[in-house]
Amino acid sequence: MISVQQKDFNVGDEYHALIQDARSEGAVVTFVGLVRDVNQGNSVKELTLEHYPGMTEKSLKSIVQQAKQRWDLGKVRVIHRVGQLALSDQIVFVGVTSRHREVAFEACQFIMDYLKNQAPFWKKESTEQGDKWVDFNDKDQQAMLRWQE
């Protein structure tokens, strides 16, 4: 299930929803991304997340579908927040269940790596030096390309 929303999420609730009715799934991996105080050398006060409504949901769905084709997964949950966020606010949640841990770890990383490169979100940081759009990081592209080797 995919959600793009302004409001915050509760990791406990999401975890319980993921393990509900789990029978053969013995592994749950979750990832949460937070707003960091220093990014690309700037001291961050606040973050604004812009997105492309419609395409955002479509691209996240396609990423989850690719992960499900690649691995035998139980449930997958992705939440991405948009709008104004404060320091240490939660930005993104990815949760994956599967029979064994290796697959759950890998699928969770795969989804985050593709999200970072393909989902149409843009971060603008409010810093001491004024507002600044976050630059795309080559490291994120390398992280995605390793799945294509």
Partner 1 sequence: MNKILFFGQLKERLGCANTQVELPYPSSVAQVKAKLQQRGGLWLQLLEQGTVLSAVNQTMASDDYVINTGDEIAFFPPVTGG
Residues found near partner 1 in the complex (CB under 8 A): 33, 49-52, 54-55, 58-59, 80, 91-92, 112, 115-124, 133-137, 140
Cβ proximity to partner 1: between 91 and 96 the closer is 91
The C-alpha atoms of residue 121 and residue 103 are separated, in whole angstroms, by 27
Task: State in angstroms the smallest separation of the CB of 40 from partner 1.
Answer: 10
Q: Are 127 and 42 in contact (CB under 8 A)?
A: yes
Q: Are 31 and 72 in contact (CB under 8 A)?
A: no
Cβ proximity to partner 1: between 92 and 104 the closer is 92
Cβ proximity to partner 1: between 58 and 100 the closer is 58
Scan for tokens 């600044």, then name that residue. 132
Q: At what angle do helices 101-118 and 138-145 cross, to 10 degrees?
A: 130
Task: State in angstroms the smallest separation of the CB of 26 from partner 1.
Answer: 27
Task: State in angstroms the smallest separation of the CB of 72 from partner 1.
Answer: 25
Cβ proximity to partner 1: between 25 and 93 the closer is 93
In degrees, rounded to 5, the angle at the alpha carbon of residue 78 between the alpha carbons of residues 7 and 38 is 65
- Output helix, strand, coil percentages for the chain, rounded to the nearest 5: 35, 40, 25
Q: Quick count: other Cβ atoms within 10 Å of Cβ 7?
A: 8
Cβ proximity to partner 1: between 49 and 96 the closer is 49
